[in-house]
Chain A
């Protein structure tokens, strides 16, 4: 699976949009971009995934660049409960997930 690069930490004010970047310059044509998050003392939680097109669900939006070499996870109105480690994973969908260190997002009042 392609390797991803994420900033180690980010801050966001409560109520504002949180934009989490991810670089995946070696992504293959059949690989998806998955996002999971892990709140302290809990197991990881699936957020969203996409292949080429932008995706939106009740939790977040995923914006993938046209060349697919990077993506951004957007939490439109961050709350304190969104404080977590966010993992960007590139995966064909049929192979196992390989987690990096992710981005620690701290949402402050």
Chain B
């Protein structure tokens, strides 16, 4: 069974630029999550989708971050404009339903200079 795929794996941008990350969840998984992990900390949930609807985006900085999950499969997370404090690893995860174990992708390491 293929795991959660993410791209790119690494990205370096200057502050005020925009960036987008892509995630392909495990086939058949209805729930998709985006997490932000700052160095030395545990992952923090940014947004949770159930199929193509948003379940929880309470911790998403909506003035600069946006996410979509068209057709309930792939998802993209965008940052515009980026700030220095956005430097982190962005993790995508999926699960069969809104409960139970989550399966994580390898993450995208973003560096904002």
Contact = CB atoms under 8 A, between A and B. Distances in A.
Contacts of B106: 41-43
Q: Interface size for chain B: under 10, 10 to 19, 20 to 34, or 35 or more residues?
A: 20 to 34
A43 B42 contact: no
Contact of B101 (A46, A85, A87): A46
Interface of A: 34, 41-46, 49, 85, 87, 93-94, 96-102
By secondary structure, the A interface counts as loop
Contacts of A100: 42
B25 interface: no
Given A43-B93, A43-B104, A46-B103, A96 B33 contact: yes
5 contacts: A42-B107, A43-B106, A96-B33, A99-B42, A101-B42
A102 B42 contact: yes
Contact of B44 (A41, A94, A99): A99
Given A34-B101, A94-B98, A101-B42, 4 more contacts: A43-B105, A45-B104, A49-B101, A93-B100
